[in-house]
């Protein structure tokens, strides 16, 4: 198949490109490097089935090649420091960017795949979160540029599905980690690993009692590839329900990597979600999918991978 992936130079996008190429597809990557890395494009540039377009997908997707089978929209700043630096660009890639992807899919009679997020649940009042939960999001908070952009992206994807008949998929990705995350990513796993690598103290925001579920990127990609083969249009959670408090997680990193590390506490960011854990019953039934990588294995793997670069 011929598959266009927006956000191909990002963390998740680059793993998706790698897997699609491995499966023998032709992949067109599109990225403007607002939060991605050129090295993630260079990885594939010599591959015979890969081509790349540098473009801001919010302004349009300048693809003029042969008919596409899929448009997969993964472009978006995804970590708080990135989207808070670029709130307007983040809002735009959720609205105009998603719509440009949907229009491209429409023209090519291709299917459309949206990477949404567990952030659409906001600070959830239901635990764990099934796909039917409507969420608890502050529309005007400092995180709203990301959360509301993704809720909008889901709404417009459903509108194109219902009104224009586009064959769509929506996944809600829960916290994911793995190689090729940016060191300044700001998400808790990356922070801890990089702090550990530099022998610094591990920073916990708040008292560390807020929980996170961490999914290893290979598991996410497996879920994505499976969903491409299943005809289901409403959102599907992809995440690891194995729950840790941020403090437990810091202790895991400390114990696995360097027992000498100190853990320090800092004050919490506005609207920081307190608990987040996916109900993955739907993905299990529909995709016969379940995350396989244990946190301990994922962290060691990631640590070794980063150390080796």
Ligand X SMILES: NC(=O)c1ccc[n+]([C@@H]2O[C@H](COP(=O)([O-])OP(=O)(O)OC[C@H]3O[C@@H](n4cnc5c(N)ncnc54)[C@H](O)[C@@H]3O)[C@@H](O)[C@H]2O)c1
Task: Provide the annotated active-site residues.
Answer: 146
Residues of this chain that bind a copy of itself (CB under 8 A) = 87-88, 91-92, 94-96, 99, 120, 122, 134-140, 142, 144-145, 147-149, 151-152, 154-156, 158-160, 162-164, 170, 234-235
Please pick, from the candidates 4, 28, 29, 76, the single residue that binds ligand X as defined by CB under 6 A: 76
The rounded Cα 163 to chain-centroid distance in angstroms is: 27
Q: In angstroms, what is the minimal distance from the CB of 131 to ligand X?
A: 14
Regarding beta strands 263-266 and 202-205, do their DSSP bridges make them parallel or antiparallel, or are they unpaired? parallel
Q: What is the largest CA-CA distance in the chain?
A: 58
By CB under 6 A, residue 12 contacts ligand X: yes
Q: Which is nearer to ligand X, 24 or 139 (CB)?
A: 139
* Residue 173 interacts with ligand X (CB under 6 A): yes or no: yes
- Taking CA atoms, 145 is separated from 19, 49, 94, 232, in Å, by 30, 35, 9, 28
Closest to ligand X by CB, 28 vs 30, is 30
CA-closest candidate to residue 77, choices 61, 90, 60, 95: 90
Sheet holding 26-31, edge to edge: 50-54, 26-31, 2-6, 70-73, 111-117, 168-173, 235-238
Q: If contact means CB under 5 to 8 A according to the sort of partner, which of ligand X, a copy of itself, none does residue 91 touch?
A: a copy of itself
Q: Which does 75 bind (CB under 5 to 8 A by kind): a copy of itself, ligand X, none?
A: ligand X
Min CB(259)–ligand X separation in Å: 27
Q: Judging by beta carbons within 10 Å of its beta carbon (0-12, 13-18, 19+), is residue 204 exposed, middle or buried?
A: buried
Euclidean distance between CA atoms 250 and 201, whole angstroms:
10
- Asked if 36 interacts with ligand X (CB under 6 A), we say yes
How far apart CA 107 and CA 104 sit, in angstroms, is 5
Give me the least distance between CB of 192 and a copy of itself, in Å please: 29
Smallest Cα–Cα separation from 71: which of 33, 21, 35, 108? 108
Closer Cβ to ligand X, 16 or 261, answer by number: 16
Dihedral sign from CA coordinates of 185, 145, 271, 123: negative
The 130-149 site mask, x for binding ligand X (CB under 6 A), equals: --------------------
Q: Which tokens hold the place of 271?
A: 């609207």
Q: How far apart are CA 232 and CA 196, in angstroms?
A: 41
Contacted by 298, from ligand X, a copy of itself, none: CB < 5 to 8 Å by type: none
43 binds ligand X, rule: CB under 6 A? no
Q: Is the CB of 159 or the CB of 252 nearer to a copy of itself?
A: 159
Q: Which is nearer to ligand X, 183 or 281 (CB)?
A: 183
Size of residue set near ligand X by CB under 6 A? 30
Binding interface with ligand X (CB under 6 A):
6-7, 9-13, 30-36, 56-58, 74-78, 82, 93, 97, 115, 117, 173, 175-176
């Amino acid at each position: 198949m011929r598959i266009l992936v927006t956000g191909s130079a990002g963390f998740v996008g680059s793993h998706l490109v790698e897997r699609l190429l491995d499966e023998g597809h032709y992949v067109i990557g599109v990225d403007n490097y607002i939060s991605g890395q050129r090295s993630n494009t260079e990885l594939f540039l010599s591959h015979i089935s890969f081509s790349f377009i540098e473009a801001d997908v919010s302004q349009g997707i300048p693809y003029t090649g042969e008919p596409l089978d899929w448009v997969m929209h993964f472009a978006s700043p995804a970590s708080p420091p990135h989207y808070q630096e670029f709130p307007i660009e983040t809002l735009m890639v959720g609205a105009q960017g998603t719509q440009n992807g949907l229009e491209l899919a429409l023209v090519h009679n291709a299917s459309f795949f949206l990477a949404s997020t567990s952030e659409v649940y906001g600070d959830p009042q239901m635990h764990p979160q099934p796909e039917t939960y409507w969420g608890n999001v502050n529309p005007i908070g400092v995180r709203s540029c990301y959360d509301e952009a993704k809720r909008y992206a889901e709404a417009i994807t459903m509108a194109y599905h219902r009104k224009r008949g586009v064959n769509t998929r929506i996944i809600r990705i829960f916290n994911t980690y793995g190689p090729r995350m940016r060191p300044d990513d700001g998400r808790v796993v990356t922070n801890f690993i990089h702090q550990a690598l530099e022998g610094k103290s591990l920073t916990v925001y708040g008292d560390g009692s807020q929980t996170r579920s961490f999914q290893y990127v290979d598991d996410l990609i497996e879920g994505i590839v499976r969903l491409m083969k299943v005809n289901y249009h409403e959102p599907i959670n992809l995440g690891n329900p194995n729950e840790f408090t941020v403090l437990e997680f810091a202790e895991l990193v400390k114990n696995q990597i360097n027992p000498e590390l100190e853990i320090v506490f800092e004050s919490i960011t506005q609207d920081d979600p307190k608990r987040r854990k996916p109900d993955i019953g739907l993905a299990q039934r529909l995709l016969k999918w379940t995350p396989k990588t244990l946190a301990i294995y994922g962290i060691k793997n990631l640590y070794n991978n980063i150390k080796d670069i």
